[in-house]
Amino acid sequence: MFTQIKKRDGRVVDFDATKITDAIFAAARAVGGEDRETAKRLTYKVLDYLHEKFGDSLFTVEDVQDAVEKILIENGHARTAKAYILYRDWRTRIREAKSDLMDAVEEVLKETNRENANVSNSPSAKMLQIASAASKQYYLSRLIPEEFSYAHRNGIIHIHDLDFYGKTLNCLQIPLGELLRNGFNNGHGYIRPPKRPSSATALAAIILQSCQNDMHGGQSFAFFDRDIAPYVENASEDEAFQAMEALVYNLNSMHSRAGSQVPFSTINLGTDTSEAGRRVTRNLLLAYERGLGRGENPIFPNIVFRIKEGINWEPGDPNYDLLLLAMRVAAKRMNPTFSFMDSSFNKRYGCEVSYMGCRTRVIANVRGPEVSEKRGNLSFTSINLPRIALKNKGNVDAFFNELDKVMDLAIRQLYHRFQVQSKLRVKDMPFLMGQHLYLDSDNLEEDDIIEPAIVHGTLSVGFIGLAETLKVLTGKHHGESEEAQKLGLEIVKHMRELVDKAVADYNLNYTFLATPAEGLSGRFISIDREEFGVIRGITDKEYYTNSFHVPVSYPISCYEKIEIEGPYHKCTNAGHISYVEFASPPQNNVAAVYDILKHMKKHDMGYVGINFPIDFCNSCAYLGVISEDSCPRCGSINISRVRRITGYLSTVDRFNDAKVAELNDRVAHF
């Protein structure tokens, strides 16, 4: 009867009625039917219907499928129709995933994706991003339950590092001292323990790189000063400096992950009072202060200087001179950042708490010892707070009801991911698990699943856009209104309570994160703008405000900002950070940096930093704030502009559009 049919891609091909019979028969078998003759009779009815509707006109594959569904239902084959519809939906999802993948690949080949400012523009980076796009589509369409996949696609939640969903873990505080004492094997033979500072720091860089190749997030040394101290005891200051300078050079030039990026490295130090430990801290800070070969600002490592009363906080403390040096270096280079060991939520752990990457904190443990080393975050998922407020049209009670549902969804999704991760085997992460970097991994063999080790890790629920949420609910954000601040704290404390409940319910280390939203800040708002329109003060810009921060464009003193953001730190036990913005490097006013740190400490912050522009002329090596397009010394337009992005440093040319918009909106807090 028919000779041709139009495919979905527009091609016209020969019509084959047996394909209709095959599809009906397959659907029937799925619900227990085995009668192919019935399938043939139904096919004739489908053909009659098509002839009646289209005559001799050309019809499409979709037209045929609609006809099959209609005939099956009208002829009493409801169960077969349901199976056919489900199969058709599954095939549609597969096609859409393939289409989305091809679109993503096309974009990658045109320009490197800037979701992560630490990813380069190299050919290997592009290949990694193509693999990333394919992996995301696979997990969303094949592995992740539809409930969670739908929520991610529609901007209700965001599953971070989706491309690594079932392959590895996020981040780790590496046991550097143990690896250096015992030696290690990163895949091509045993590396014996070092004896001199230069060897120790060279191996430290290799360890960071090897570990990062097994994971998708950042890598950190929790006690760098303590762990490197044995190798500088008999070294001169010059030898110690050369070793630290080499480490800084390596961490800014030694690429991992198929050459796409340098290791996302963090180093914690500042509280070792031994002379060797002090020498490590002093010379690493001096090497970072000097910069790279021509004075360029180092991007990595992210240095975190621990502050502890009685050790380095006041004149007379044994490491007070190192705090002064750390503040001097931070006033020039934006690093180090600072962590407070005496905050209400860190104090019970002494000097044990270490921060890593953008802000991650891992310490409490319902399944074992409460330590930083040999533990990390397994994965995290963020919720779209402004969307919940917009959906409920500013109704606070309805907002909280919806918030409970979304938090429950995020918690269950993280548990699903944990179940997938826990089935991975030691051999899937040969350095991380095979060399026993994770707590209790030393009890596992190559073919063992890693669940006994990763129960020590954390599963984090995060959030962004508290400021915009409060604008929807009260008309003002927490920087503008005490009422909004009160509600903001109520919202965040409520979310923390739900996360704590999940710890008890699942007997796993659920934690609550002030999300470092980089690509996400623009993704959520674009989805919401499409659905809810442009709303002044909420969806009328290119990004949502990070976590609990006061909007970057809001004129406020640094002291007021600290007072507003301080109370949120104790709620966000998975990680947090607050900044103040200077218009220029405060190199000539280190006393002001100290005053700010005192105010931050007073208001119970855990992890903090100072921000300002750092511009460098690649032609003449001029370093300073370059407000024009060209260098004031030589006139070159070849300028590198370093800024902090969600917790780490990068050059502005690697910022995505949302983060560029946020950067342009930033105002100084003085």
> d(Cα 599, Cα 563) in Å, to the nearest integer?
8
Query: Which CATH number does the domain 145-170+374-575 belong to among 3.20.70.20, 3.40.640.10, 3.30.43.10, 3.30.420.40?
Result: 3.20.70.20
pLDDT of residue 546 exceeding 90: yes
pLDDT of residue 195 exceeding 70: yes
Q: Which two tokens stand for residue 479?
A: 């920087």
DSSP state of 458: E
pLDDT value at position 249?
Answer: 97
- pLDDT digits 0-9 by tens, 102-142: 666 666 555 555 555 555 566 666 777 777 777 888 888 88
pLDDT value at position 28?
Answer: 86
Rounded to 5 degrees, φ, ψ at 427 are -70, -15
> d(Cα 410, Cα 158) in Å, to the nearest integer?
9
CA distances 597 to 285, 324, 590, Å, are 18, 12, 11
β-bridge mates for residue 575, sequence order: 360, 513
Largest CA distance in the chain: 97
pLDDT value at position 322?
Answer: 98
Residue 259 confidence class, pLDDT cut points 50, 70, 90: low
Tokens 């903001």 belong to 488
* Mean of pLDDT values over 513-525: 91
Residue 539 confidence class, pLDDT cut points 50, 70, 90: very high
pLDDT value at position 500?
Answer: 98
> d(Cα 165, Cα 150) in Å, to the nearest integer?
16
Tokens 């430990």 belong to 277
pLDDT value at position 496?
Answer: 98
* Mean of pLDDT values over 276-282: 98
- pLDDT digits 0-9 by tens, 75-99: 998 888 888 877 777 776 666 666 6
- pLDDT digits 0-9 by tens, 284-337: 999 999 999 999 999 999 999 999 999 999 999 999 999 999 999 999 999 999
DSSP state of 584: S
Pairing of strands 377-384, 172-174: unpaired
**What value does the mean pLDDT of the chain take?**
93
> d(Cα 576, Cα 86) in Å, to the nearest integer?
44
> What residues contact residue 365 under an 8 Å CB cut-off, 6+ apart?
371, 375, 456, 509
pLDDT value at position 664?
Answer: 94
> d(Cα 558, Cα 193) in Å, to the nearest integer?
47
Give the residue from 666, 617, 462 showing the smallest Cα distance to 548.
462
- pLDDT digits 0-9 by tens, 17-50: 999 999 899 888 888 876 889 999 999 999 999 9
pLDDT value at position 255?
Answer: 79
- pLDDT digits 0-9 by tens, 602-643: 999 999 999 999 999 999 999 999 999 999 999 999 999 999
pLDDT value at position 156?
Answer: 97
pLDDT value at position 111?
Answer: 56
- pLDDT digits 0-9 by tens, 555-601: 999 999 999 999 999 999 999 999 999 999 999 999 999 999 999 99
List the domain boundaries for the chain. 4-84, 145-170+374-575, 172-356
3-state secondary structure of 611: strand
Lowest mean pLDDT of 100-109, 277-286, 385-394, 470-479, name the range. Answer: 100-109
pLDDT of residue 408 exceeding 60: yes
* Mean of pLDDT values over 250-270: 84
